[in-house]
Amino acid sequence: MTTATKVTTATKVTTRTVEYAADGLTMVGHLALPAGTDRRPAVLVGPEGTGLNDFQRHRADLLAELGYVALAFDINGGRWFADPEEMLAHCLPLLADPGRMRGIGHAALDVLRAEPRTDPDRIAGIGYGTGGAILLELGRDGVDLRAIGTVNALTTGQPGEAARIRCPVWAGVGSEDPIMPPAQRDAFAAEMEAAGVDWRLVVYGGALHAFHHPPVDQEVVPGVGYHARHAERAWRDVVGLLAECLPVTGPVPDRPRP
């Protein structure tokens, strides 16, 4: 792993770029550290299939403001796919390969654990789309996480492997999401229930796929759209999951808005 030299500090949060190897690529992650020098609970932040952008980097910064060490990890070797067809060509084979997803997740987890500010026994993961699927695969691989939260990632795994999930799972999805339709919701719920997982599923009425993500300069895809009210609600739900399962000791700041 290498660490880029650029370091920025704002609102008592220090951020830096970290480069590391995974999936045959050089990944470019974003690490955010809270004020202080003590060890803190930590959170992996997984991006959508389009890649890591400023939206997810900002999510890591907000978590650092709450007192967490946060790593927004990369899945595309530093690339952002503005072309939906190019993104699908990259992500669909990845989503069909649990071993690759787990490899990407473990590499990011190793980076987060290697950070001296991280309490290695207190780590959770939140992810969006493909990043959420990767975190679910870490759970199915038996990784000791305190919580897994996903948005738009109701992926199911190999039969029986969900029984290895060792933490609560929270999932959010839009009711009008054509990529995660009711049949997919039912399959996800059945998998979690059969495995005895402590799970929750929140369906946000009227929301499409990627409802959490503000508009960006890329081609508009049918079935994908931003829903500001539900985006804020989903963020509050994710922060609430972390507060329940991975509390920060000592005074906790007000919850940052998304």
Q: Write down the H helix ranges in the chain.
A: 54-65, 84-95, 98-114, 130-140, 182-195, 228-245
Residue for token pair 């190793």: 110
- Write out the H or E segment, with its range, that includes residue 118: strand 118-128
Q: What is the pLDDT of residue 218?
A: 58
Q: What is the pLDDT of residue 110?
A: 98
Q: Tell whether 253 is covered by a domain.
A: no
Buried-state track 94-118, b at ≥16 Cβ within 10 A, e below 16: bbeebebbbbbbbbbbebbeebebb
Q: State the CATH number of the domain containing residue 235.
A: 3.40.50.1820
Residues 23-57: tens digit of each pLDDT: 999 999 999 999 999 999 999 999 999 999 999 99
Q: Tell whether 108 is covered by a domain.
A: yes
Q: Tell whether 7 is covered by a domain.
A: yes
Mean pLDDT is lowest, of 5-14, 165-174, 211-220, for 5-14
Residues 106-153: tens digit of each pLDDT: 999 999 999 999 999 999 999 999 999 999 999 999 999 999 999 999
Mean pLDDT is lowest, of 7-16, 45-54, 69-78, for 7-16
And the tokens for 30? Answer: 């974003």
Q: Tell whether 254 is covered by a domain.
A: no
Residue 43 · residue 17 · CB < 8 Å: no
pLDDT band per the 50, 70, 90 thresholds, residue 252 = very low
Q: Tell whether 251 is covered by a domain.
A: no
Strand partners for 27: 20
Helix and strand numbers (H, E) in the chain are 6, 9
In the DSSP assignment, the letter for residue 83 is S
Domain that holds residue 24: 2-245
| Residue 205: Cβ-neighbour burial (10 angstroms; 0-12, 13-18, 19+) | exposed
Strand partners for 21: 26
Q: What is the pLDDT of residue 41?
A: 98
Percent of the chain with pLDDT over 90: 84
In the predicted structure, residue 6 carries a pLDDT above the cut 60: no
Q: Tell whether 252 is covered by a domain.
A: no
Cα distances (angstroms) measured from residue 144 to each of 114, 125, 141, 223, 249: 16, 11, 9, 35, 20
Q: Tell whether 250 is covered by a domain.
A: no
Residue 127 has phi, psi (to 5 degrees) of -150, 155
pTM of the model: 0.92
Task: Read off the pLDDT of each residue in 182-211 and give the average, rounded to a whole number.
Answer: 97
Q: Tell whether 146 is covered by a domain.
A: yes
Q: How many Å apart are CA 146 and CA 242, to the nearest integer? A: 8
In the predicted structure, residue 3 carries a pLDDT above the cut 60: no
Nearest to 7 by CA among 24, 30, 25: 30
In the predicted structure, residue 76 carries a pLDDT above the cut 60: yes
In the predicted structure, residue 212 carries a pLDDT above the cut 80: yes
The total number of structural domains that make up the chain: 1
Residue 71 · residue 30 · CB < 8 Å: yes
